[in-house]
Copies of this chain bind each other. A is one copy, B any other.
Amino acid sequence: MGDLAKSLGVQKGSLYAHISSKQDLLYETMREGADAFHAALDAIPDELPATEKIRLALRGHLRVVAEQLDVATVFVREWRYLEGDRRAEIVAERRRYEDRVRALFREGRELGELRTDLDDATAALLSLSAANWAYTWLQPGRDTDALADRFYGLLVDGMRGYATPG
């Protein structure tokens, strides 16, 4: 709170004309984060091939991190300091997000775009883990979409080099 006030050029006490408590501010930031990540998934057209959806999901996730780095950092790292119902709510939103991503991989497998023996849970875990860590290294200035596409290429076609070209 002291740091926050300082960076706003204001006294600590003055903050409470805008927020009701530190815990409330944390919750509001978390809600913002949850909404941003879900909105990124919502923006993906339904009729696209599953692999294309996965590519756009990666782009969307990294874009949220890049454009709202502070919110994303809080969303990813500070949820354990929420208390009570609000904590449960945010944890559920995280879980729902993970489920939506996993559904993309399942769809890709079922439609034959991805290998039929794909372990979609592990695939989603791998992809989401990499994406969740992005807040630690992502530089908002760089071309985030291109980076997401490189990740997509590695994940889908692999690193070995006998995969489909292009």
A residues sitting closer than 8 Å to B (CB atoms) are 51, 77, 105, 108, 113-119, 122-123, 125-126, 129-134, 136-137, 147, 150-151, 154-164
A-B contact pairs, 14 of them (CB 8 A): A105-B159, A114-B159, A116-B161, A117-B161, A118-B161, A126-B151, A129-B129, A129-B133, A132-B136, A154-B158, A155-B155, A157-B158, A157-B160, A162-B163
> Once the chains are docked, how many angstroms separate the CA of A156 from the CA of B159?
5
- A132: chain B residues at CB < 8 Å are 129, 133, 136
- A123: chain B residues at CB < 8 Å are 154, 159
> Smallest CB–CB gap between A23 and chain B, Å?
19
Identical copies of this chain, number: 2
> Smallest CB–CB gap between A106 and chain B, Å?
12
Contact B122 A147 (CB under 8 A): yes
- A156: chain B residues at CB < 8 Å are 158-160
Contact A114 B164 (CB under 8 A): no
> Once the chains are docked, how many angstroms separate the CA of A159 from the CA of B113?
9
> Once the chains are docked, how many angstroms separate the CA of A51 from the CA of B159?
10
> Once the chains are docked, how many angstroms separate the CA of A130 from the CA of B137?
13
Contact A160 B115 (CB under 8 A): yes
- A130: chain B residues at CB < 8 Å are 126, 129-130, 133
